Structure 1
Amino acid sequence: MFSRMKTGTKVLAGFAVAIAVTAVVGVVGYRGISVLREHLTEVGKVRLPSVLGLEKMVAGQLEAAYGERGLINRRMMDAQTRSNQYQRVDDGLKRAEEGWKIYEPLPQTPEEAVMWKAFVPTWEDWKKQLAEVVRLSKEKDSLLAGGLKPEDPKLTALDDQTFEASKVTRAAMNTSAAKLVEIVNLNIKLGDEAVLDGESAASSSITFSLVAIGVGVVIMLALGVFLARSISRVLRTLTGEAKRLSDAAVAGKLETRGNPELVSLEFRPIVEGVNATLDAVIGPLMVSAE
Structure 2
Amino acid sequence: MQWMYNMKIGAKLLVSFIIIALITGIVGAVGYVNVQKLEDSNIILYEKMTLPIAAVGQISTSYQEMQVIVRDMIVTNDPASILSHADQVGVRNQEIDEAAAAFQETLIDPEMQAIFEEFVVSRKSLATELEKVKALALENKDAEAFVLLADEGSYGKAASVEMAAINKLVPMKLEEAQVFEELDVTTASTAKNTMIIVTLISFAVAIAFGLILRSLISKPLQQATQMSKEMNMGHFTMRLKMKRKDEIGEMAEAMDSFSDAIQNVVIGTMNQLASGDVSANIEPRDDQDELAPAIKSTIETIRTLIDEATMLALAAIQGQWETRGDAGKFRGGYKEIVEGVNATLDT
TM-score w.r.t. length of structure 2 = 0.62
**Deviation, structure 1 residue 242:** 4.1
Q: Does 1:160 align with 2:160?
A: no
CA distance in 2, matches of 1:92, 1:190: 32
Question: 1:5 aligns to what SS in structure 2?
Answer: helix
- 1:58–1:229 CA distance, 2 compared to 1 (3 A): same
- 1:36–1:94 CA distance, 2 compared to 1 (3 A): farther
**Deviation, structure 1 residue 181:** 1.7
Q: What's the counterpart of residue 43 of structure 1?
A: 42
- 1:93–1:186 CA distance, 2 compared to 1 (3 A): farther
What is the letter of the counterpart of residue 239 of structure 1? K
- 1:159–1:106 CA distance, 2 compared to 1 (3 A): closer
CA distance in 1, matches of 2:116, 2:7: 75
Contact 1:49–1:103 (Cα < 8 Å) also in 2: no
- 1:208–1:89 CA distance, 2 compared to 1 (3 A): farther
- 1:31–1:16 CA distance, 2 compared to 1 (3 A): same
What is the letter of the counterpart of residue 131 of structure 2? R
Q: Does 1:218 align with 2:207?
A: yes
**Deviation, structure 1 residue 238:** 2.5
- 1:48–1:94 CA distance, 2 compared to 1 (3 A): farther
How many residues matched? 263
1:130 to 126, 131, 137: 126
Larger Rg: 2
Q: What's the counterpart of residue 100 of structure 1?
A: 100
Q: What's the counterpart of residue 90 of structure 1?
A: 90
Contact 1:21–1:212 (Cα < 8 Å) also in 2: no
**Deviation, structure 1 residue 269:** 2.1
CA distance in 2, matches of 1:132, 1:209: 63
Contact 2:70–2:85 (Cα < 8 Å) also in 1: yes
Q: Does 1:270 align with 2:255?
A: yes
Contact 1:126–1:169 (Cα < 8 Å) also in 2: yes
More helix by share: 1
Deviation per CA, 1:153-200, whole angstroms, max 9, x where unpaired?
x54234313431232023202431233124412441243134324422
Contact 1:126–1:173 (Cα < 8 Å) also in 2: yes
Q: What's the counterpart of residue 230 of structure 1?
A: 220
Deviation per CA, 1:8-65, whole angstroms, max 9, x where unpaired?
35x7446534533431332242133124313312321x33222313531342243223
Deviation per CA, 1:188-214, whole angstroms, max 9, x where unpaired?
124313432442244134313431343
Question: 2:8 aligns to what SS in structure 1?
Answer: helix
4+ residue segments displaced more than 6 Å = none
Q: What's the counterpart of residue 302 of structure 2?
A: 289
CA distance in 1, matches of 2:38, 2:77: 54
**Deviation, structure 1 residue 218:** 2.4
What is the letter of the counterpart of residue 123 of structure 2? K
CA distance in 2, matches of 1:241, 1:50: 79
Question: 1:261 aligns to what SS in structure 2?
Answer: coil
Q: What's the counterpart of residue 246 of structure 2?
A: none
Give the root-mean-square deviation of aligned CA atoms.
3.6
Q: What's the counterpart of residue 20 of structure 1?
A: 19
Question: 2:76 aligns to what SS in structure 1?
Answer: coil
CA distance in 2, matches of 1:107, 1:216: 46
- 1:184–1:289 CA distance, 2 compared to 1 (3 A): same
Q: What's the counterpart of residue 60 of structure 1?
A: 59
Contact 1:122–1:176 (Cα < 8 Å) also in 2: yes
Contact 2:118–2:165 (Cα < 8 Å) also in 1: yes
**Deviation, structure 1 residue 81:** 7.0
- 1:102–1:155 CA distance, 2 compared to 1 (3 A): closer
1:115 to 111, 135, 146: 111
Contact 1:25–1:209 (Cα < 8 Å) also in 2: no
- 1:74–1:192 CA distance, 2 compared to 1 (3 A): same
Deviation per CA, 1:245-287, whole angstroms, max 9, x where unpaired?
6xxxxxxxxxxxx447345242122331461774542356446
CA distance in 2, matches of 1:85, 1:39: 48
CA distance in 1, matches of 2:189, 2:15: 31
- 1:34–1:85 CA distance, 2 compared to 1 (3 A): farther
CA distance in 2, matches of 1:16, 1:212: 19
**Deviation, structure 1 residue 93:** 2.7
Q: Which runs of 5+ in 1 are unaligned?
A: 145-153, 246-257
Q: What's the counterpart of residue 140 of structure 1?
A: 136
TM-score w.r.t. length of structure 1 = 0.72
Contact 1:59–1:96 (Cα < 8 Å) also in 2: yes
Q: Which runs of 5+ in 2 are unaligned?
A: 244-248, 267-281, 284-291, 304-347
**Deviation, structure 1 residue 231:** 0.6
Contact 1:62–1:92 (Cα < 8 Å) also in 2: no
